[in-house]
A and B are shown apart, each in its own frame.
Chain A
């Protein structure tokens, strides 16, 4: 292994981990509060990437594309929450899993209809590099990492410093008691779903220049995102952050050591962690309901 590859490898891993993190927070919060598995988050991720692609193509501005993607993610997830999830929150976990998988597949069909099957490239908005420890690092990847850090801080402040955030934390522990105080939990559910959908779209938008945008991109990250959620512990934001860093590094450094490792190593790590701690790193027993 070439040691000069380590710094870019770590940065690469952090940027991939950042994308996973943005998607995993939403999944984790949705499970924590509403007890749903929202596979359709992967649709909002794809929608985010495609909107960025199209807006960038027509206006030449990638960042305008990101804004449009976030707005679209918010709008689509809000609509799906109203039309689909409101009716199934009360049902079993498996129900939401199957329904949201249906939403995902249907959405992928719609994406194929509008954008076709051909993978679309999105140019990297900032092609400059920056020298870190003597190696050249793409600035865009650093920006992705910074965005993830900013989102982490914003979510932390939201959950710990605002009353709605506190109500969401309380609801993750015991949603009935929150209702019993007279707090409209349906509204908390909508807000949480909206946050998740918006962050998924942001993840897709930021990921677009680093990959090819294609209709099945959501399914490609599915395994990794779920791994992040499971390793971190369902419902824990801190756990999600740490596990996304771990998974990102394992994917990136693993591929430096031996390419096929990138695909396999994260699964091995997940199994190991689950053997030691079945609730994930920061998963709390509180979540049993």
Chain B
């Protein structure tokens, strides 16, 4: 339902790779300051969903609306400019560029040159500014990916498996960061880590074979055991 107060509305979204249809009639909404999680098996279509919202894939049907603007058909850089930013699963920073240069690109795109929030969330980055991003550890890369995406105060962050392969201490740090971030931006997080998902989400969509098969939106249902049924 389009309530008008949502930051992001997806309705009837279908996506194909060539002739292979991978998303069927997806509908979801994200409200202000919400953390919405998306869970599902490998190959369920979670990455495809985020990439489509971010403009990297064109849907064959459906609508995507962010703050009254239709995103379908816009190039990814315009969607990012509208404040809907995708943080990819691959953890690929610009490895030939320094951490500082990676952040400079985020600033250049958004005209937001205030790195204070970034270094507040991730103090570690301060000490790594002049290091080539290619030399960063997996956790540091994820910090940089998030850091350069939150410049310009995005309205909606689309975060694809942020904790994949990271140590527990960094995962719990990211958990706090997402909570903090949600005060200013709404988040859609694709995640396999169910305890994390259940700890921070206001709403969970479970996906299977390209369809949303469940929507968990209250405290009683946002539990690891409930989520597990859908994996």
Contact = CB atoms under 8 A, between A and B. Distances in A.
A and B co-occur in one complex? yes
Contact of A181 (B95, B96, B97, B106): B106
A40 interface: no
B88 A182 contact: no
B94 interface: yes
B101 A176 contact: no
Interface string A161-178: 001001101100110111
Interface string B64-105: 000000000001110011000111100010111100011011
A186 B75 contact: yes
Interface string A147-168: 0000000000000000100110
Interface size class of A (residues with CB under 8 A): 10 to 19
Interface in A178-197: 178-186
Contact of B108 (A167, A169, A177, A185): A167
A275 interface: no
A276 interface: no
Contacts of B77: 179-185
Contacts of A167: 105, 108
B97 A183 contact: no
A77 B58 CA distance: 30
Contact of A183 (B54, B88, B95, B109): B109
B63 interface: no
B149 interface: yes
A182 B56 contact: no
Interface string A226-246: 000000000000000000000
B95 A182 contact: no
A163 B104 contact: yes
B148 interface: yes
Tell me which of A167, A176, A180, A184 has the highest count of chain B C-beta atoms within 10 A of its own C-beta.
A180
Contact of A180 (B76, B104, B152): B76
Contacts of B192: none
B160 to A, nearest CB: 11
A173 B105 CA distance: 14
Interface of A: 163, 166-167, 169-170, 173-174, 176-186, 286
7 contacts: A176-B88, A177-B94, A179-B56, A179-B76, A180-B76, A182-B77, A182-B85
